[in-house]
């Protein structure tokens, strides 16, 4: 006999977890299924961790609506969930007269999109703000509302709040079949059968595969790969704002940005790929990214590379998000959530909740009192656990034994080493495990299983 | 604020020897700060023989050398599990220990933080990000400290001294590397090691370059370029050896002036700040533990003359 739910979300990326959170907080009995060993093991694992205003999004798009609602809700709830915000602002920098000429249109689009606080910067103003920037920068457009956030703690916090509201999260639970019978979906998963009245497909990079389990998919996921190069900590002092390029017809271009963990990174590239998981980096592209970063910020020349990674965005053939409710099938599709998903997630959840209420029955009249669950802080600019003592196990990122142990406990313990890294920053620093990997993995296994 | 005449940062061969030699020469107020739970540095996990810092001892294993150094310095103030987080703007040290954060000032500071091998990321080696890619440092801790058997068919990148240390670790595991790649045209280690490698059944391949590492969960193959041709070699791990760089976390923010990737020092070990000295492998040239100890004795002589 399978457990019966009001709602089943397929996919525990940032989008699935934000949806799970909002619907669980609306009083529905919810479950979320994740194919990977831990949450955030697909597209949400590698992105640029920016909180966007939507100033350059397509006007009137659903993407823009969700991003702006998501941006606002993040700022509204972040203190209650202990989520950080690095208030960097962004600058669209022009490096040629041709690019300079395009700033007018970008400014106009920002105003159309309701982002009213943008401001043009002359070359002098740009140099005063960013003295380390290469002299070739001619001017820019300041977007004060663009910020840097923690790409992993935010969705982890959404998951924890959903759990506190009674939701269930099942990992290693790939869905292999779906059958709709007398108003109920019966799903076969690697963890056993699940029955739910409504299914929400938030399967990201596998969105089309999951859709095909239920009916013919109206879209195809065309993964777009983005490679990144992360520089060591001293680099973060070289730049204040997120440095955005002027987009060309062909590409949005690569961004230079500080990370919430105190580093500086460049990326992403935009490459069509068939890969759906564990995207490959390649030396040639990484070398080009590094060179481009040094070209923009010459002082980077003497700073080491700390990390390299590649992320995958679940793009489709359509330019906007695909969010549809199939009324007769008790099914909501949430697909094509590309690079803006981290910003858009909370807004997407609001939109999906409206679709649910419209098509699949009213939400409970009396909403449960919200329970606020806080997550440990990983942001470099805020108070971190090592400051209170403890034993440091990861010397580059100053991660304590207490943090490693905490990550293996609670209602959503790290499911694998990647999950541990995303919950603690351990092994993500400049030595990449030279000093710490051996004893850290041992401490992790011991904390998980009580043995070494 | 706690103050000491001399604070040594790093309890490896260079740091411990400096402190030991200073105390022998009559300096009483010397403190060694070591971030690991045990002093001794890198030799702690080089489980094979090959260390010969003292003529009378012959060839020692790394752990024996580390134990010997700890024994000699037993009476000194060596604080383990103590991390120097940074130099403050007041030229003091910000420290972390189990009790929390504290500040310490010092008449003289000896930087002996050593060196580490370049990571995969620093080498910009592409492919899948998967388990089974490690430096010699991680490998030897897994093998000699944890008692693990991390692989059966590794590929070793590099042919520096440390690469042969990796080979000895493989022999300890009774594992035969499937390939040893040298990226430069000349081997960095003396020819005796090359012959040693052959005796161990591995021959370094010259003019070869590691292009990418592939696998779904852990390493399944590497893509290498040899004589202009690319080929895939099946393996279950990649050990990236050598290309050491100075452990620069404390001065990479510009606190000390640099010369290349290491702090600039005079022939008297003085850095760009007159009260800060640097010794051992933090200076960027990879030297044996014995040579680091020799330099440390020279530094102690300079400081007490």
Query: Closest partner residue to B252 among A232, A434, A437, by Cβ?
Result: A232
pLDDT value, residue B56: 77
CB contact under 8 A, B135 and A392: no
Residue among A281, A290, A303 minimizing CB distance to B127: A281
- The residue among A332, A257, A349 whose CA lies nearest residue A49 is A257
Residue A450 reports pLDDT greater than 80? no
With bands split at pLDDT 50, 70 and 90, how would you rate the model's confidence at B187? low
Asked whether A256 and A243 are in contact (CB, 8 A), the reply is yes
**Superfamily in which the B119-242 domain is placed by CATH:** FAD/NAD(P)-binding domain (3.50.50.60)
Q: DSSP letters along A404-443, please?
A: HHHHTSSSS---SHHHHHHHH-TT-STTTTTTTHHHHHHH
Contact between B122 and A286 using a beta-carbon 8 Å cutoff: no
Contact residues on chain A for B85, CB-CB shorter than 8 A: 398
Architecture label for domain B2-116+245-304: 3-Layer(bba) Sandwich (3.50)
* Chain A residue nearest residue B254, CA to CA: A234
- Each residue's pLDDT tens digit, A358-385: 999 888 888 889 999 999 999 999 999 9
∠B133-B136-B141 over CA atoms, to 5°?
100
CA distance A301 to A284: 18
Question: What distance in Å separates the CA atoms of residue A428 and residue A330, rounded to the nearest whole number?
Answer: 42
The ipTM of this complex is 0.94
Cβ distance B253 to A237 less than 8 Å, yes or no, reads yes
Determine, for residues A233 and B126 on separate chains, whether the beta-carbon distance falls below 8 Å.
no
Domain ranges within chain B, ordered by starting residue: 2-116+245-304, 119-242
Q: Indicate whether A56 pLDDT > 90.
A: yes
- CA of B135 to nearest chain A CA: how many angstroms apart? 6
| Tally of CB atoms within 10 A around A122 | 11
In whole angstroms, give the CA distance from residue A136 to residue A153.
Answer: 37
C-alpha B44/C-alpha B64 separation (Å) is: 8
Percent of chain A whose predicted confidence (pLDDT) is above 90? 93
* Inter-chain touch A398–B212, beta carbons under 8 Å: no
pLDDT attached to residue A133: 98
- pLDDT over threshold 80, residue B55: no
> What sections of A130-234 are H helices per DSSP?
153-164, 207-214
Give yes or no for A392 touching B (CB within 8 A): yes
- B154-157 and B237-240 beta bridge pairing: parallel
In B, what residues contact A, Cβ < 8 A?
35, 37, 81, 83, 85, 96-101, 116-117, 119-122, 124-131, 134-135, 137-138, 141-142, 145-146, 148, 211-212, 214, 216, 245, 248-249, 252-254, 258
CB atoms within 10 A of CB B144: 20
Q: What homologous superfamily does CATH list for A90-144+222-313?
A: D-Amino Acid Oxidase, subunit A, domain 2 (3.30.9.10)
**H helix or E strand, kind and range, residue A285:** helix A283-296
Is there a contact between B129 and A286 if contact means CB atoms under 8 Å apart? no
A228, A265 Cβ separation under 8 angstroms: yes
3-state secondary structure of A30: strand
With bands split at pLDDT 50, 70 and 90, how would you rate the model's confidence at A449? confident
Tell me if A434 and B245 make a contact (CB, 8 A cut-off). no
A437-441, B21-25, B127-131, B197-201: range with lowest mean pLDDT: B197-201
SS3 A6: strand
CA distance A117 to B289: 60
Residue B2: per-residue pLDDT: 97
Question: Which residues of A, range 269-308, sit inside 8 Å of B by Cβ?
Answer: 278-287, 290, 302-308
The whole-angstrom separation of Cα B289 and Cα B274 is 26
Domain ranges in chain A? 3-47+152-219+317-359, 90-144+222-313, 385-449
- For residues A163 and A39, is the Cβ–Cβ distance under 8 A? no
Residue B22, pLDDT score: 98
- For the CA atoms of A114, A120, A125, A130, the dihedral, rounded to the nearest 10 degrees, stands at 60
A452 falls in which pLDDT band (50, 70, 90)? very low
- Average pLDDT over chain A reads 96
**Residues A32 and A12 sit within 8 Å (Cβ to Cβ):** yes
Strand pairing report for A242-245 and A90-94: parallel
**CB contact burial A403-432 (16+ within 10 A = b; e otherwise):** bbebbbeeebebbbbbbbbbbbbbbbbbbb
CATH of A3-47+152-219+317-359, one of 1.10.565.10, 3.50.50.60, 3.10.20.600, 1.20.1250.20: 3.50.50.60
Structure tokens of A207? 């969105």
What is the pTM for the complete model shown? 0.96
| Per-residue pLDDT tens digits for A221-253 | 999 999 999 999 999 999 999 999 999 877 778
For B124, nearest residue in chain A (alpha carbons) = A283
Question: So what's the pLDDT on residue B161?
Answer: 83
Between the two ends of chain B, the Cα-to-Cα distance in Å is: 28
Q: DSSP labels for chain B?
A: -EEEEEEEE--SHHHHHHHHHHHHTT---EEEE-SSSSSS-GGGG--SEEE-SSGGG-SEEHHHHHHHHHHHTTTSEEE-S-EEEEE-TTS-EEEEETTEEEEEEEEEEEE---EEEPPTTTTT-EE---BTEEEHHHHHIIIIIT-----SSEEEE--SHHHHHHHHHHHHHT---SEEE--SSS-SS-HHHHHHHHHTT--EETTEEEEEEE-SSB--EEEEEETTEEEEEE-SEEEE---EEE--TTTTTTTS-EETTEE---TTSB-SSTTEEE-GGGGSS---HHHHHHHHHHHHHHHH-
Reported as a single tens digit per residue, the pLDDT across A116-148 is: 999 999 999 999 999 999 999 999 999 999 999
* Mean residue pLDDT across chain B: 92
**What average pLDDT does range B66-71 have in this prediction?**
96
């Amino acid at each position: 006999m399978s457990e019966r739910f009001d709602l089943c979300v397929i996919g525990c990326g940032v989008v699935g977890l934000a949806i799970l959170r909002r619907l669980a907080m609306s009083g529905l009995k919810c479950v979320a299924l994740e194919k990977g060993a831990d949450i955030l093991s697909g597209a949400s694992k590698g992105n640029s961790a920016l909180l966007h205003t939507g100033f350059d999004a397509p006007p009137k798009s659903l993407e823009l609506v969700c991003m702006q609602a998501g941006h606002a809700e993040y700022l509204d709830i972040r203190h209650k969930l202990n989520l950080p915000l690095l208030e960097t602002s962004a600058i669209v920098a022009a490096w040629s007269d041709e690019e300079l000429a395009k700033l007018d249109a970008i400014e106009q689009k920002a105003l159309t999109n309701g982002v009213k606080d943008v401001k043009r910067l002359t070359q002098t103003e740009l140099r005063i703000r960013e003295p380390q920037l290469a002299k070739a920068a001619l001017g820019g457009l300041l977007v004060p509302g663009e910020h840097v956030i923690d790409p992993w703690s935010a969705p982890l916090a959404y998951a924890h709040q959903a759990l506190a509201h009674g939701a269930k999260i099942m990992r290693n639970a790939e869905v292999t079949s779906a059958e709709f019978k007398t108003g109920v979906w019966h799903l076969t998963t690697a963890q056993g059968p699940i029955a739910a009245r409504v299914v929400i497909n938030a399967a990201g990079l596998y969105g089309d595969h999951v859709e095909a389990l239920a009916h013919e998919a109206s879209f195809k996921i065309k993964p777009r790969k983005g490679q990144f190069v992360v520089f060591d900590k001293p680099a973060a002092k070289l730049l204040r704002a997120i440095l955005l390029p002027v987009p060309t017809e062909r590409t949005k271009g690569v961004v230079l940005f500080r990370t919430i963990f105190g580093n500086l990174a460049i990326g992403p590239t935009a490459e069509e790929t068939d890969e759906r998981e564990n995207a490959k980096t390649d030396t040639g592209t990484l070398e080009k990214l590094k060179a481009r970063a040094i070209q923009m910020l010459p002082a980077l020349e003497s700073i080491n590379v700390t990390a390299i990674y590649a992320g995958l965005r679940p793009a489709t053939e359509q330019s906007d998000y695909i969010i549809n409710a199939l009324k007769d099938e008790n099914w909501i599709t949430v697909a094509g959530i590309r690079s803006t998903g981290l910003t858009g997630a909370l807004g997407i959840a609001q939109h999906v909740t409206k679709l649910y209420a419209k098509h699949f029955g009213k939400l409970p009249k009396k909403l449960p009192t919200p329970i606020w669950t806080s997550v440990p802080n990983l942001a470099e600019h805020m108070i971190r656990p090592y400051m209170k003592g403890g034993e440091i196990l990861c010397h580059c990122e100053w991660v304590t034994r207490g943090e490693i142990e905490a990550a293996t406990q609670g209602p959503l313990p790290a499911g694998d080493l990647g999950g541990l890294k995303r919950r603690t920053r351990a092994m993500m620093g400049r030595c990449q495990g030279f000093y710490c990997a051996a004893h850290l993995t041992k401490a992790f296994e011991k904390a998980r299983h009580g043995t070494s | 604020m706690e103050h000491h005449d001399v604070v040594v940062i790093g309890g490896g061969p260079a740091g411990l020897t400096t402190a030991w030699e200073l105390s022998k020469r009559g300096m009483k107020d010397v403190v060694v700060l070591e971030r690991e739970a045990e002093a001794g540095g890198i030799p702690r996990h080089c489980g094979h023989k090959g260390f010969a810092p003292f003529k009378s001892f012959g060839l020692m294993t790394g752990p024996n050398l580390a134990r010997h150094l700890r024994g000699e310095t037993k009476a000194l103030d060596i604080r383990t599990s103590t991390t120097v987080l940074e130099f403050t703007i007041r030229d003091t040290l910000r420290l972390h220990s189990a009790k929390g954060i504290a500040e310490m000032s010092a008449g003289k500071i000896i930087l002996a933080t050593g060196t580490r091998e370049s990571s995969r990321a620093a080498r910009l080696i592409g492919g899948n990000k998967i388990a089974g890619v490690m430096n010699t440092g991680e490998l030897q801790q897994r093998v000699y400290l944890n008692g693990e058997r991390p692989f059966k068919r590794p590929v070793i990148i590099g042919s520096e001294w440390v690469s042969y240390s990796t080979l000895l670790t493989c022999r300890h595991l009774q594992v035969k590397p499937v390939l040893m790649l040298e990226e430069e045209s000349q081997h960095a280690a003396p020819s005796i090691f090359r012959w040693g490698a052959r005796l161990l059944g591995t021959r370094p391949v010259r003019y070869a370059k590691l292009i990418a590492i592939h696998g779904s969960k852990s390493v399944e193959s590497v893509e290498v370029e040899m004589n202009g041709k690319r080929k895939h070699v099946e393996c279950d791990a990649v050990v990236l050896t050598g290309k050491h760089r100075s452990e620069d976390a404390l001065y990479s923010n510009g606190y000390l002036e640099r010369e290349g990737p290491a702090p600039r020092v005079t022939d008297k070990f003085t850095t760009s700040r007159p009260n800060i000295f640097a010794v051992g492998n933090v200076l960027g040239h990879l030297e044996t533990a014995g040579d680091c100890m020799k330099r440390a004795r020279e530094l102690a002589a300079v400081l007490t003359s």
